[in-house]
Chains A and B, each alone.
Chain A
Amino acid sequence: EIVLTQSPGTLSLSPGERATLSCRASQSVSGTYLAWYQQKPGQAPSLLIYGASSRATGIPDRFSGSGSDTDFSLTISRLEPEDFAVYYCQQYGSSPTTFGQGTKVEIK
């Protein structure tokens, strides 16, 4: 199965700053089938990005995804207070689908 490694484990930033999260796959991700999810404390995850770079319905354009093959990233251009959360990447191109271990974006 494909192992996804996210870095850093924790990102400490201030509101208004730019956040860049990384997701590296142990093998090539078929079809750029890579998604990003956001999870706030006590809540279920919610889909942000799919297909490596397409925003899900209602996701603001400060969130952007990029990458291909084994290297992917999620960028939040200017952090809003509601963006402090844990972010997970997921590959859904190979069975079984797998998730990264998560990156926590916390307020500095």
Chain B
Amino acid sequence: EVQLVESGGGLVKPGGSLRVSCADSGITFTDTWMSWVRQAPGKGLEWVGRIKSKIDGGTTDYAAPVKGRFTISRDDSKNTVYLQMNSLKTEDTAVYYCTAERSCGGGSCAYYWGQGTLVTVSS
């Protein structure tokens, strides 16, 4: 059974930093593209960014609102993906979900989801 477990959420002041983690079990982590999706309170889903597997280049992509402030990295030896968030704004307040992507009819979609971790940016 695939399990993605996020941790590291919490309360942070505007302008501050936070790193959230996502540990995986049940998938071949090294071959898997991992992404982060967030959901502001009472709102819909917003893609944050993705990191490809090292065999596919290990490159990252980010949504425009977080580009330059957020960094996604991975440690394949620990089956863990990280989301480093800097220069946080109040509008970054959300539940952050880690997802594991799989081939979905040719393209890559969010096949497995973690339970989410809440990040609150407030003074």
Contact = CB atoms under 8 A, between A and B. Distances in A.
Contact of A44 (B46, B104, B108, B115): B115
Contacts of B106: 31, 33, 51
Given A44-B97, A45-B97, A33 B45 contact: no
B105 A51 contact: yes
A37 B44 CA distance: 12
Chain B, interface size category, equals 20 to 34
Interface of B: 37, 44-47, 61, 63-64, 97, 104-116
A42 B63 CA distance: 25
Contacts, number: 69
A96 B63 contact: yes
Given A35-B104, A52-B105, A88-B44, 13 more contacts: A31-B106, A33-B105, A33-B107, A45-B45, A45-B110, A46-B113, A47-B109, A50-B104, A90-B110, A92-B109, A98-B47, A100-B44, A101-B44
Residue picked from B97, B109, B112, most chain A C-beta under 10 Å: B109
A47 B113 CA distance: 9
Interface of A: 30-33, 35, 37, 43-47, 50-52, 54, 56, 88, 90, 92-93, 95-102
A95 B116 contact: no
